[in-house]
Every structure is written in C-alpha cells, then in structure tokens.
Chain A
C-alpha cells in the first residue's frame, strides 16, 4: 500500500581549483567542507555504523568488488539543518535532510547550493591570495567523467523489488525531457553523433539494473540500504537524475517520481505494460534528440516518443489522483500542484519546447547557446560555447549563467536561507537538527538513523531513529523546550 513519501537528494558537485598551485581534487574538496564546518558551531562528525552499500535489493550481499569504499579519513560532517556535507570520490557532496514533500526538498536542495557558496567564500579566506576553489552544480566535465545527483524515496517494503524496477524504469528513462540539464557534445563511448543533448547523465548508463554507481551505471539501482526499519521500508536510490538549477525541474523530478511510486505501491498501472524493450538504448537515443521526436520501442512492439510515454504516465497518475487522492506525496494539494505543472510542461514541450526556456534547464541552455551561435556566427564546438555550457552551472553569483537567465522560482530566498540552518520540522531530521543545535558538544557522531551521545563517564549512548517520520516538531518539539541538558533529553526519551 502507498506509504507517505520521504525524500532526499545527494549532489556531488564539480570543483575546479583556480590559481598557480596544482591542487589535488580530494584535497580541494576537503578544504571546502572543512572551511564551512570550522566556521560553524553544531557541525559534528558522521557515524559510519549503518553504511552497507553492498547490499542488493534483489536479495544478496556482494562481498567483493566495486561497492563504494567508505572513506573514513575524509571530511565528513552533519549540519544543524540535518544535512550531511562531506567528501566523496574527490567531490564535495551535499545530502539534504529527509523531507516530507517535493517542495520542502526543493527548498533544501537549494539550501545545499547556498552551503556550497558559503564554503567557497570560507575557503577563499583560508587559501593564499589568487587561489580559489570554484564549485559547479553539474554532472559531467564534457570529457567522459561523470558525478552524480541521486534521489532517495521511501517505499513500502512489501512491493517486490522486481515489480518496482519494472514499473519505474520507463519513467526514469523518459523523464529527462524535463529533468535534463542539457550539454554540448556526446560522451557515450563509441558514439559522437549528438551535438546537443537533453541530459548530462544519460550517456553514462550502460545497464538496465544493478548495484554499481561509479562504473557500468544501471538505470535502476539495486542498492538496498534503507537507513530505517528494514522490515517495513525500502529506500529507492535513483541515480539517473541530472543536478538541476531549475526549480521547476527539481520539483517535477522529485514530485512526479514520488507520485508514480504511489501507483507502484498500489498496483495502479492498469493493463498496459509500459516496459521498454531496450531501456539503455532508449535513454541514450532520447538524450540525443532535443527535437523530442525520437521513438523508442516497448516490449509489446509499439514505438512511442518520450513525450508519448510521459503522457501515458500522466494519464495513469491523474486517474489515480481522482480515485485515491495524493496525500502520500506530502499533501493532496501539493500532489495536485505536481500534476498540474507536469501537464503544463508536457503540453509546452509538445507545442514548442522554446516556450519553456524560463522553466527547464536544458531548454534554457539550448536556447541561449543557439542564440549565441547565431549572433557570433560560431558552431557548437567553439570554446566560448563550451564555457557557456560549464558556466551555466557555476555557483558563483557573478559567474553563474543560470542566474543571469532568471528562470521561474517556486520558493523564496528567505525559505532557502532559513533551510541552511533549520531542519525540516516534519521528519526525523528535526530531531537530529535540534540535538545538534542544542547539544553539539555532547554528540560524538550522527548519521541518518541514529545519534551517538557522550555524556562523560558512562559508555556512549546511541539514540536510534528508525522511523523517518518520527522525531518531528509536532511530536517532540515540546520535549526540547523542557530539556536543558542532553542527560535530561536522554532520560525523558527513556533511554
């Protein structure tokens, strides 16, 4: 049965060290994270106790091979807003706190950008004059190297994973027509045909399903690491997404995917099997065609465009919404907003994609580059076009092309600024954040599902948080009002 969705986004940012000195990227990423953390009270270390990236949702544990290594020695902090800010694979990575609605997650995803901006400023003060570390919110260097932006969704454990994978795959392949961040040039091995691609990430997917995240990336990732009660929940780890600057794109990326997961959980996909015959080929072919005319084959032999497929999914979702409501998305009202925007964007893409240049990343970038080439009489392989492509994602306000383009906003600067310090009040991130704000000196480490206290003398005390929707302000807000010390908090929690 459909359960209330809990959402999160992890973004690996691109970095570039500027200056006369050669800097290794892992070191540069550490400088950023440490510079930010050292300026702030309340940031504490990450606890690795529940990390099990080798567990596969198909029912086995891989003991050797390419599972990501836990890098214990690198910068790794938890912030008062409940987020994790750390170094992963030579990139600074920001994981939002757990959120209970797509819009709330959008606010926290943008707060992550602000944290990275502040980390850049803090690092500039530590580095010698003339040196700087610049951060980019993108997914590829244009030379065949990719780094991810992963989404997480809480899903009912009783849904068999093969069913979940089969149902969601076609969406993950086709949603790029509105979630894509766009790029110039092709990075798919052995193919050079595309001039402009809809998605930054699509070229890097080589398998339909699997556990990997750094090589032979699969469209459906099987990592089974719920960070919650594993008898009740699954955390669907989606690795196909582009890192978006467009708020509309992030809202739809998370909102539509969350909404379709309700249909998966309630088995509401109807008779027709929307299953792609060759999903890997399809994700590439769709990415390579900004006219959106390319068709892909379903297992029943029919051929549809990505838009056709998204319209089919929209139809199913609209029907589901009428019959059962969308409370589990976060609220019924917000679910309706997702549906409404989804419909509007699909209609826009169908009529004329350029009408969405104030809403979607890939369209905004495409239109800008097209106009730039027309004015300067240059081609897509011109270095200035390459610079435009990269600088679309530059997080420095004065260098950000995205910022100049002025895309539509869905959330306010005030909300985003507050989310740099304050956790969502509607998930367990609230408990984590409040503990860090009030009792950081007594906290040894924290992670998604527990906090470890050191109260002196006694053994360390671990407070488990296995329910993502407990520990909210509504339930325990008053508890904090009455606790002036961590000892008292633990006593009242009954620990």
Chain B
C-alpha cells in the first residue's frame, strides 16, 4: 500500500471522488469500443494479405539504427 500513498501524494489531482465518477463512464466507453471492434472484424479479412503465412515469412528486414 506504500505505493498507493506515494501516488496520492504526488498526483493530487486524481483524488477518489473523480475516480468514482469516472468508473461507469470508462465501462461504457470500453463497451462502445468493443462494439466498434466487432464491426471491424467483419471486414478485416479483406484487408489482410492473401497468403498470410508467406507474407509474414517473407517480411525480413536488414537491421538499421
């Protein structure tokens, strides 16, 4: 719990009340993002390279910086 206290001290702007308010909103947001992702999955196979195995195997780069 020492870590918790430490955070509270150094980041005073995120006190408990704010967190309580945010909790349901962040769940809503997560749900919404999940739903959008589901729609995207319906069409993602069109975007993927035809032969995924060969594509991944052939993607070899020379090392750089």
Contacts and interface: CB of A to CB of B under 8 A. Distances in A.
Interface of A: 12, 14-16, 25-26, 68, 88-91, 140-143, 145-148, 150, 213-215, 239, 302, 304-305, 308, 311-312, 314-316, 318, 343, 347-348, 351-352, 354-355, 357-358, 367-368, 371-372, 375, 383-384, 386-388, 390-391, 398-401, 404-406
Contact of A90 (B7, B13, B47, B64): B64
A89 B56 contact: no
Contacts of A384: 48, 52
A367 B61 contact: no
A383 B65 contact: no
Interface residues of B, number: 41
B63 interface: yes
Contact of A91 (B9, B34, B58, B64): B64
Contacts of A372: 41, 44
A384 B11 CA distance: 42
Interface of B: 2-3, 6-7, 9-14, 19, 22-23, 26-27, 29-30, 33-34, 36-38, 40-41, 43-44, 47-49, 52-53, 55-56, 58-65
Contact of A391 (B43, B47, B65): B47
B65 A357 contact: no
A343 B13 contact: yes
A147 B63 contact: yes
B55 A371 contact: no
17 contacts: A12-B64, A16-B58, A16-B59, A89-B62, A90-B62, A141-B61, A142-B56, A145-B62, A146-B64, A312-B7, A318-B11, A347-B14, A351-B22, A372-B41, A372-B44, A387-B52, A400-B47
Contacts of B43: 404
A315 B12 CA distance: 8
B61 A387 contact: no
Nearest to B40: A404
A141 B33 contact: no
A312 B60 contact: no
B47 A214 contact: no
Question: Which 9 pairs from chain A and chain B are nearest by CB?
Answer: A315-B10, A147-B64, A386-B56, A387-B52, A383-B53, A89-B64, A90-B62, A148-B65, A141-B61
B38 A25 contact: no
A315 B11 contact: yes
A14 B26 contact: no
Contact of A357 (B9, B10, B33, B38): B33
B10 A351 contact: no
Contact of A383 (B23, B38, B56): B56
B13 A390 contact: no
Question: Of residues A14, A15, A143, A384, which shows the largest number of chain B Cβ atoms within 10 Å of its Cβ?
Answer: A384
B23 to A, nearest CB: 7
A222 to B, nearest CB: 14
B42 to A, nearest CB: 9
A146 B53 CA distance: 21
Given A89-B64, A214-B65, A387-B49, A355 B6 contact: no
A148 B61 CA distance: 12
Contacts of B12: 315
A355 B62 contact: no
A376 to B, nearest CB: 9
Contact of A141 (B26, B38, B53, B60): B60
